[in-house]
Every structure is written in C-alpha cells, then in structure tokens.
C-alpha cells in the first residue's frame, strides 16, 4: 500500500494559510522545506485539514494542522505505526471512526511499488491527477502520548497522528499494485461528505471504485520532482 506520497500545498493555493507566506521562487526552493514539494514518509510530518474545534466543540470551519503519518497499530502485533487502514471492523480502530476523528489529507501524487519488481530492486510508480492539481485521502486522526521516535532518536510526548483508508485497487493501479490503493476524494463535495458521514457509512466509502481517468501514471522524469523535501 501507499507508504510515500507528495503534498504540494502551493498547488492548493494554501501557502499563506499553512506556511505563512505566498511567494515561491522560480527554482521551486522553499525557505522552510528546501523544496517546494513536500514528500511524506511514515512517521514524518504532513499538512492535514480537519474541522476546527472551539471551546471543546467541533465547528463547520476547517483548519490546517501538522500531523505525523501513522496511527499506532494493535498491541498484539507490536503497536508499530499503521499508515493505511483497511479493516475498519477491527476493534482496534473503533475509537477513531467517529466524525470527531475525521480529516482529509491533501496530496498531489502517491506511490506504489510494482508487484512485478525484480527481487531486491523495487520499482516505484507514482500516480497523480491528470491536471496535476490536488486531491485528498480519506483520513482519521487522534492525539497519542508516548515515544514516537526511535531507539537512536526518542521522541516522547503528545503527538497528533493520522492514517488514511485504503480500498481495492482500480483498473489503473491494479496492474502495478494489485492489493490495494488509498481511498481518494476527488472534489470538495466528497471531502465534506467524508468529514461528516456516520461511522456506519465508512465501508461504503471504501467500496467506491475510483474512476480510472481520475489519476494517471507519472513518467520517471516528472516523478523525480517528488523526491527530496520532507520534514522529519
């Protein structure tokens, strides 16, 4: 499943909302990141959109927030961060299915490794909207307290973590990676629906098949732009 994606906030026209400034240089160099494209890996930070909370109440307003990618998995399997959630019937995920834990995850491209890659040499393929605009993953988030670092670099404290749903691969993704793909929200209406749908409708979201023309496979030369700028 997708364990690496790109989120170019510039394409969403949200630079000022999220980073606090408007201008991006012609060389695509961002003074904050070092690269205009934010590449997201498991446990790294990413820009997320969620409902704003005021005085303990969820509002209809949306806000940007930095979160880390990967909710803690089931303890019986070691509790390692899970970036992609498929089995929403699992008791482990029951606590994050409520509307209060919904978010949308902006992306400009996501990757999958080819199932047919030679042994020991995984071939990565990137998928992006044909207009190279922004789409969204259907996300879930929560606050978690503990060590979200590594043995070498511990990171103890409170962390806001997210994951997103996966579903069956569509006709575009399946020849590359047959097992699954992210649940993609293609427009504002779908985003609003996801943020407010009751928990018993989540499986219906997963059952929707993304139209094959909603994404396309990115060529190797263009895909090189997605590498390099990310926040640890």
Mean pLDDT by 10 residues, the chain (232 residues): 79 62 44 57 88 91 89 87 95 95 94 88 91 93 88 87 96 95 94 95 94 94 68 39
User: DSSP label at 10?
Assistant: G
Burial of 33: CB neighbours in 10 Å, binned 0-12, 13-18, 19+: middle
Longest dimension (CA), the chain: 54
CB 96 within 8 A of CB 2: no
User: DSSP label at 208?
Assistant: P
Q: Quick one: which of 209, 228, 231 has its CA closest to 46?
A: 231
Q: How far apart are CA 58 and CA 163, in angstroms?
A: 20
User: DSSP label at 47?
Assistant: E
Burial of 217: CB neighbours in 10 Å, binned 0-12, 13-18, 19+: middle
What per-residue confidence (pLDDT) applies to 76? 83
What per-residue confidence (pLDDT) applies to 75? 86
Q: How far apart are CA 141 and CA 116, in angstroms?
A: 33
What per-residue confidence (pLDDT) applies to 228? 55
Q: Which pTM was predicted? A: 0.87
What per-residue confidence (pLDDT) applies to 229? 46
């Amino acid at each position: 499943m997708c364990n690496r994606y790109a989120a170019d906030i510039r394409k969403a026209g949200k630079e000022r909302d999220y980073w606090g400034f408007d201008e991006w240089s012609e060389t695509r160099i961002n003074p904050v990141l070092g690269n205009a494209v934010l590449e997201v890996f498991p446990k790294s930070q990413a820009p997320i959109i969620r409902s704003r909370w005021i005085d303990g109440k969820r509002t209809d307003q949306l806000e940007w927030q930095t979160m880390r990618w990967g909710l803690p998995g089931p303890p019986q399997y070691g509790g390692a961060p899970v970036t992609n959630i498929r089995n929403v019937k699992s008791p482990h995920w029951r606590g994050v299915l409520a509307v209060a834990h919904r978010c949308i995850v902006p992306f400009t491209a996501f990757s999958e490794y080819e199932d047919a890659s030679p042994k020991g040499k995984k071939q990565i393929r990137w998928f992006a909207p044909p207009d190279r605009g922004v789409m969204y993953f259907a996300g879930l988030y929560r606050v978690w307290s503990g060590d979200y670092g590594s043995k070498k670099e511990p990171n103890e404290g409170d962390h806001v973590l997210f994951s997103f749903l996966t579903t069956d691969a569509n006709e575009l993704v399946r020849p590359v990676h047959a097992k699954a793909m992210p649940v993609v929200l293609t427009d504002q209406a779908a985003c609003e629906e996801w943020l407010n749908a009751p928990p018993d409708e989540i499986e219906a979201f997963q059952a929707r098949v993304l139209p094959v023309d909603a994404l396309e496979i990115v060529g190797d030369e263009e895909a090189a732009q997605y590498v390099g700028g990310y926040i640890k």
